[in-house]
Amino acid sequence: MSDRIVIVGAGHAAGQLVASLKQKKHAGEIVVIGEEPYLPYQRPPLSKKFLAGELPAERLIFKPESFYDDDNIEIRLSTRITSIDRRGKVLLSEAGEAIHYDKLVLAIGSRVRTIPIDGTDLSGVHYLRTIDDVTRIRSDVEASRRAVIVGGGYIGLEVAAVLRTAGLKVTVVEMADRVMSRVVSPEISDFYQIEHASHGVNLRLSTGVTAIRGDDRVSSVATDAGEAIKADVVIIGAGIVPNVELGREAGLDTDDGIVVDAHCRTSDPHIYAVGDCTSHPSETYGRSLRLESVPNALEQAKTAAANLCGEAATYTEVPWFWSDQYDLKLQIAGLSQGYDDVVIRGNPTDRSFACLYLKDGVVIAADAVNAPRDFMQSKALIAGKACIDKESLADTDRQLKELAS
């Protein structure tokens, strides 16, 4: 195929898409347009090793510049696309440039959810999504003793772990009554609350932030419990919002993401969408999903590349995700929402265990803490909609893969 493929967004999904198109020897031009000034890079280390100063920025880059050094590939950075003319197959950039495509891929990701309270514009207050955000956070953290993290989701807790390890006094303020409540069960939340408390992190659960105070620079965070928590630096991790507007304004079907089919095609057959910005059908769960995870971005990019190259690939992966906090690796397979029973495999006090979630007797998800084998093997149970008795699932003398067969 010799279509001119234009990819809008130069993040994780775009990086994989170019790699897959190259691997499939796509003959036409490939143009990647991204608003950030960086080549496609990995975000997960931003709240982990990069924030901790253990990884240089160069190591975040998905593929080196030489990888894109190909006659067929053009990368345009620091360029924002503002509209799509679907009839003319033309994109318009913020600078007014018109860019033609034969096939378009929207890989425009998501952005941070901002919180509508006073003081978020004070110096020392940060959101965290990009390399530039973390560079600013790191320089502030160096001169700080007390940090307040707004939001006890996985990003907030990863940041808490890094800053606490660096010796700051850390307080996490979370509106829900437990941490990571959107993605994990109460059993896992409990475990992480105990871990963070044992490292000296102050957790304020069921507590909302009402304002961030200071003159020029932040000095405290006010809560709805009437507290003013002293802070030299504040990091807000209040979730993300998918970037759907570009697609919606062009008339593509959208719900809480840009709607794609199992081939990653939008409601316009010439336009694909991949990664955080999409809402896709899940065979495993029988409903639409919008996922915020690297594996989803990578697998959708591979699926879109195959279809753009004339194959008929479908995306059927079981969702998965991970989070690193202290020396704990949390790996999540599947989605546990709606479970009616849980089996704990192993013992949380050993700091290595897994929770397996069942619905009507079927394994639908697993959360594994420092238990990579159970995580890997649980994926087959979830994909196969396995129905296994609870005693067998809990029996650590038997591997989950034995039960799958």
Binding site for ligand FAD (CB under 6 A): 8-14, 33-36, 43-44, 46-47, 80-81, 107-110, 128-129, 155, 243, 246, 275-276, 292-295, 297, 321-323
Q: How many CA atoms lie within 13 A of 201 on its CB side?
A: 32
Q: Is the Cβ of residue 234 or residue 358 nearer to ligand FAD in the bound state?
A: 234
Q: Is the Cβ of residue 92 or residue 394 nearer to ligand FAD in the bound state?
A: 92
CB of 72 to ligand FAD, least distance (A): 20
Q: Is the Cβ of residue 36 or residue 374 nearer to ligand FAD in the bound state?
A: 36
Q: Is the Cβ of residue 237 or residue 358 nearer to ligand FAD in the bound state?
A: 237
Q: Is the Cβ of residue 155 or residue 358 nearer to ligand FAD in the bound state?
A: 155
Triad 356, 174, 216: Cα angle to 5°: 145
Residue, CB closest to ligand FAD? 11
CB of 202 to ligand FAD, least distance (A): 22
CB of 215 to ligand FAD, least distance (A): 29
Q: Name the region of 19 (left: φ>0; alpha: ψ -120 to 50; beta: rest).
A: alpha
Residue 137: which H helix or E strand, with range? helix 131-142
Alpha carbon distances (Å) from 297 to 13, 14, 109, 239, 247 = 5, 8, 9, 17, 17
CB of 272 to ligand FAD, least distance (A): 12
CA–CA gap between residue 289 and residue 204 (Å, rounded): 31
**What amino acid is encoded at 24 in this protein?**
K
The backbone torsions φ and ψ at residue 272, rounded to the nearest 5 degrees and listed phi first, read -110, 165
CB of 291 to ligand FAD, least distance (A): 7
CB of 154 to ligand FAD, least distance (A): 7
Q: What is the bridge-based pairing of β-strands 240-242 and 90-93?
A: unpaired
Rounding to the nearest 10 degrees, give the CA dihedral for residues 23, 24, 30, 32: -50
Q: Is the Cβ of residue 3 or residue 292 nearer to ligand FAD in the bound state?
A: 292
